[in-house]
Structure 1
Amino acid sequence: MTSDALPASETRTTLLRNGAVYNPAEPYATALLTVGDTVAWIGSEDGADLHVDAADTVIDLEGALVTPAFVDAHVHATSTGLALTGLDLAGTVSREQVLDRVAAFAAHLPADAVVLGTGWDETHWPDQAPPTAEQLDRAAGGRAVYLSRVDVHSAVASSALLAAAPDAQGAAGYRGAGLVAQAAHHLVRTAAYGQVSPEQRADVQRAARARAAELGVGALHECGGPDISGEDDFTGLLELAADEPGPYIFGYWGELTDPVKALELGGVGAGGDLFIDGALGSRTAALRDPYADAAETGDPEHGGVTYVDGEELAGFLAACVEAEVQPGFHVIGDYAMDLLVGALELAAAAVDENRLRALTVRAEHAEMADAVTVARLARFGVVVSAQPVFDQAWGGPSGMYAKRLGAERAATLNPFAAYGAAGIVLAFGSDSPVTALGPWAAVRAAAFHQTPGSRITARAAFSAHTRGGWRALRPGAPGVPEDEQGVLTPGAAATYAVWRAGDLLVQTPDSRVAAWSTDERAGVPGLPDLTPGLELPQCLRTAVRGQAVFDRLGRG
């Protein structure tokens, strides 16, 4: 491919041609013209000929696909950057392998440095036991060590780090031998992240944005909070994104306080990871019935934990209505979902229900929802911000969900088809670093959900990862451009991605079988074949409002 781009300061009009443009109104479009930060025209090669002379830049796509850029609706940028640049423990198969990686990583660090790692998952290890503080002490040469579990709702810490968080061992969730969850985890994580310098933090945030751009992501919803990364981290990320080119960052601040605080910090909403409960892997998601493997916790009545009650949630929702600030909640277990929908009903009784609906309340993750819960979420116009790769990673008859819940309950998780059938807006993301940034992998995971009845079409999944991310932002929220729609159409913002992909196919309406068709009579734009095992599309260029933030065109 070739690009004869002028310097960015001079480039105003760009013509991309000889490819395929994903546009429902023009399913056979092959070219796109942008003027400044706006899409000016979409059409055929004959039309492109008419625009060549007026274009400052002409890019021959050589058959590449142009789509709206993806939106990742739930990320943690600093943790993502640390995982990208630091100690990634994803895929480790034993406690011993984790310790070996810690030792190798720590050997290159100063004696007073903190070892930060993430991604371990003991579910399928031989002894299913994480490292202890004493073992981490030996592996890291006495350094402070913080290793978060893959769900980031529990972690293991070395003795040096526990000493830096002296209240952790007496807090709720301290499980002994350096294993922490709940409040103890929050204290330990705060101590660990407190040793990250502002310069290091900015560098890893840049790394996270750069990786997102490489994957065709044009916008990220940052889910921050006092127990996740702290105010300095949150405001620093928003300032960096405002000052430097890259994907948008829209910040959600998860704290049960005056919702206006989220706006004062520069965010767009009060929520994201405002925790109602925890996570299934760490057995802290709140369940109606005990965990199937609860005996392993020593507590046969164990059904997870909650961090707020229904009246607190209802009061917060009512405060958000009065302040006109969008709320959102981390909610996973079915009991936690009961708390959320009950709070919505209490709040609707206290304030005008239409005003509550207008807030675009977000439910982050929302993994366990039966038909009654789905209907109640739909009634209040709740947006579900979900992560399809969760099912790929932990679903199925032998996955972590089945171990924690039993196969019958596990098969009901992440009910995307039910949400869609109820008219609930889906917005897809990664929860990175819980699962890696990778939007096409998420689209594939939703289309090939391990529970066939929960599958949605690839087209619906693609919409959830593009348009859905914009619809999940409250209209009129500060800093949210009105012309960003997640679709490529004249007058919309020129935020797009270019892909090297295989044949463009149309998925048949029966999403249970996820079959594909090459029948041109379908008259709808095609997407790459996402059948598992095939290579995912490769990003060649990502543009945000017409400005390339990642570009491989012309470099092979």
Structure 2
Amino acid sequence: MTERTLPPGPPSGRRGPRTVLLRGGAVYSPADPFATAMLVEGEHVAWVGSDGAAEAYADLADEIVELDGALVTPAFVDAHVHATSAGLALTGLDLTGSPSLAAALAAVTAFVAAQEETGGVLIGHGWDETGWPEGRPPTLAELDEAAGGAAVYLSRTDVHSALATGALRALTEGLADRPGHSADGPLTRDAHHAVRRTALAHLTPEQRRRAQRATLARAAELGIGALHECAGPEISSEQDLAALLDLAAAGDGPEVFGYWGEAGGVETARRLGAVGAGGDLFVDGALGSHTACLHTPYADADHTGTSYLTAEQVADHVAACTEAGLQAGFHAIGDAAITAVLDGVRAAGERVGADRVKALRHRVEHAEALDEKSVAAFAELGLTASVQPAFDAAWGGPDGMYAQRLGAERAAALNPFAALLRAGVPLAFGSDAPVTPLDPWGTVRAAAFHRTPEHRISVRAAFTAHTRGGWRAIGRDQDGVLVPGAVASYAIWAADELVVQAPDSRVAGWSTDPRSGTPGLPDLTPGRPLPACLRTVVRGRTVHRAAE
């Protein structure tokens, strides 16, 4: 890909917005499935079409980008992130992929030894005992020995339980009296929330800024033009969300849209400038930590998980948000938690009007354990499913963590993306970073090659859920496509041959037949390299450019 900035022409009075012409590639646009060029004026797409027709605009452009065969698509939207925690994983101790308990403890020791300053709390993320040969997390004594007395917080991969050294536990008031406390093992429920608040409270403003910048920069490198930050009192803080929104407003990276997940938090959400009072408003926890709330017990534990909100509390929150004209949203993974959400949303509709509730497109985050009845209820109630296909890639399949927790039959029913689409339920894809990493093309691949074949969706549908779906989830139906008048947030990719998935197969049968009239996307068959991002543009501003 090459570019050239044209010299200014003679004065001609008032100039319009800066104009960029892209040509000589493939433009993924519903306006023209065979488009090879695009004109951008200021923050908006002005035209898409052929290279031949683009010649009429060449003399008007301030810059011409020769795509040299590259692909131009709408920028991705990651509809569920935790920017500070994700950035801390990027810049700090990342235990994701540690092959054993011993390796994880060695990494803790090396991380503590590498710190230039003593004091404060050290934060890490990503351990997962289900894949370790030891089959267990470390004891408190083992962790304290590895940390050498330092205060260390280590969130599990699902961020619904954590390890905390004795030094950090001592900083957390009343920890031993909180539900979920363990004297020797991981902390869950309220004990985990308390120790996480303590750890995050010890971050300096500069540590927070560095972490948030790392997340925004990484997102831009991956062709992500917008993020939905799912904040709340149990997951971050008001100060954290305010700092992130201020940083994003400076305009050096992706756009950020904040959610504040607090029951009764309508006024707080408005004061913070959040687009909704939802996100990680917990109805339950996570399967890996045995805290997702189920109708029947876990296969590997004699309980049904944890419930944080009742259907009545859900109804109160949805009714309050609806009266305020603000989108609500809930974290719900287990089938019992999803039932509570559906019952609560339906009850709210009876109070304030079903049409008013439906119009706001209230969200459910994760929404993993769905059956046919609950999928139909999502459609009936106008709910948006904000889901993470990488969860299935990481923990699905007959030998994965889901099967360990639920048994193979129940595990195979999780994350039914195809059923949701067939029912007309809007999908918005995200990563839940740092739970799974920012990886948009990997997310599209995970949905198209779901470990349970009947849940697979086409690459095109998955791509739409990770682009336009994120915009629709915040009520901006016009964005996320490259058509005249749309916001110019796009990415340029080095990709292999573009293909269109044949309608009669979800796995094989790729087609490049131009008679389909469908724009092509990269072949995401597992094992093939994912596209590399050459440039990311947000509202006409370049926020990432790959090194030559």
TM range, smaller chain: over 0.9
Which residue number corresponds to residue 255 of structure 2?
Answer: 248
SS in 1 for 2:114: coil
Which residue number corresponds to residue 427 of structure 1?
Answer: 428
Alignment partners' CA distance in 2, 1:131 and 1:261? 38
Map residues 468-547 of structure 1 onto 2, 5 A cutoff.
Answer: 468-474=469-475, 485-547=479-541
Which of 59, 66, 69 aligns to 1:63? It is 69
Alignment partners' CA distance in 1, 2:129 and 2:346? 39
The answer to whether the aligner puts 1:40 opposite 2:46 as a matched pair is yes
Q: Which residue identity is paired with 1:261?
A: T
Which of 10, 14, 21 aligns to 1:15? It is 21
Which of 106, 111, 120 aligns to 1:105? It is 111
Alignment partners' CA distance in 2, 1:48 and 1:363? 43
Which residue number corresponds to residue 305 of structure 1?
Answer: 306
Map residues 137-536 of structure 1 onto 2, 5 A cutoff.
Answer: 137-294=144-301, 300=302, 302-474=303-475, 485-536=479-530
Q: Which residue identity is paired with 1:539?
A: C
Deviation, 1:133, is 2.3
Alignment partners' CA distance in 2, 1:257 and 1:161? 30
SS in 2 for 1:107: helix
Which residue number corresponds to residue 72 of structure 1?
Answer: 78
Deviation, 1:92, is 0.8
Q: Which residue identity is paired with 2:511?
A: S
Deviation, 1:345, is 1.6
The answer to whether the aligner puts 1:83 opposite 2:89 as a matched pair is yes
Indicate how the Cα distance of structure 1 residues 11 and 538 shifts in structure 2: closer, same or farther if over 3 A, else same.
farther
Alignment partners' CA distance in 2, 1:365 and 1:529? 26
Tell me the TM-score normalised to structure 1 length: 0.95
Which residue number corresponds to residue 4 of structure 1?
Answer: 4
SS in 2 for 1:34: strand
CA RMSD of aligned residues (A): 1.4
Q: Which residue identity is paired with 2:518?
A: V
Indicate how the Cα distance of structure 1 residues 55 and 317 shifts in structure 2: closer, same or farther if over 3 A, else same.
same
Question: Does the CA contact (< 8 Å) of 2:379 and 2:424 recur in 1?
Answer: yes
Deviation, 1:511, is 4.5
Alignment partners' CA distance in 2, 1:493 and 1:269? 22
Question: Does the CA contact (< 8 Å) of 1:90 and 1:119 recur in 2?
Answer: yes
Question: Does the CA contact (< 8 Å) of 1:11 and 1:57 recur in 2?
Answer: no
Deviation, 1:83, is 0.6
SS in 2 for 1:542: strand
Alignment partners' CA distance in 2, 1:24 and 1:127? 52
SS in 2 for 1:123: helix
Deviation, 1:463, is 0.2
Deviation, 1:456, is 0.4
Deviation, 1:261, is 1.8
Which shows bigger deviation, 371-380 or 512-521? 512-521
SS in 2 for 1:240: helix
SS in 2 for 1:316: helix
Q: Which residue identity is paired with 2:357?
A: L
Deviation, 1:537, is 0.3
SS in 2 for 1:303: coil
Deviation, 1:244, is 3.6
Indicate how the Cα distance of structure 1 residues 154 and 511 shifts in structure 2: closer, same or farther if over 3 A, else same.
farther
Give aligned pairs, total.
Answer: 540
Alignment partners' CA distance in 1, 2:16 and 2:541? 12
Question: Does the CA contact (< 8 Å) of 2:2 and 2:68 recur in 1?
Answer: no
Alignment partners' CA distance in 2, 1:75 and 1:277? 18
Question: Does the CA contact (< 8 Å) of 1:15 and 1:51 recur in 2?
Answer: yes
Alignment partners' CA distance in 2, 1:20 and 1:189? 46
Question: Does the CA contact (< 8 Å) of 1:447 and 1:511 recur in 2?
Answer: no
Alignment partners' CA distance in 2, 1:103 and 1:6? 55
Residues 274-311 of structure 1: CA deviation (Å, up to 9, x unaligned): 000000000000001100001xxxxx2x0100101111
Alignment partners' CA distance in 2, 1:422 and 1:446? 17
Q: Which residue identity is paired with 1:324?
A: G
Question: Does the CA contact (< 8 Å) of 2:333 and 2:367 recur in 1?
Answer: yes
Which of 8, 27, 30 aligns to 1:24? It is 30
Deviation, 1:332, is 0.2
Question: Does the CA contact (< 8 Å) of 2:17 and 2:41 recur in 1?
Answer: no
Question: Does the CA contact (< 8 Å) of 2:24 and 2:69 recur in 1?
Answer: yes
Which shows bigger deviation, 62-71 or 170-179? 170-179
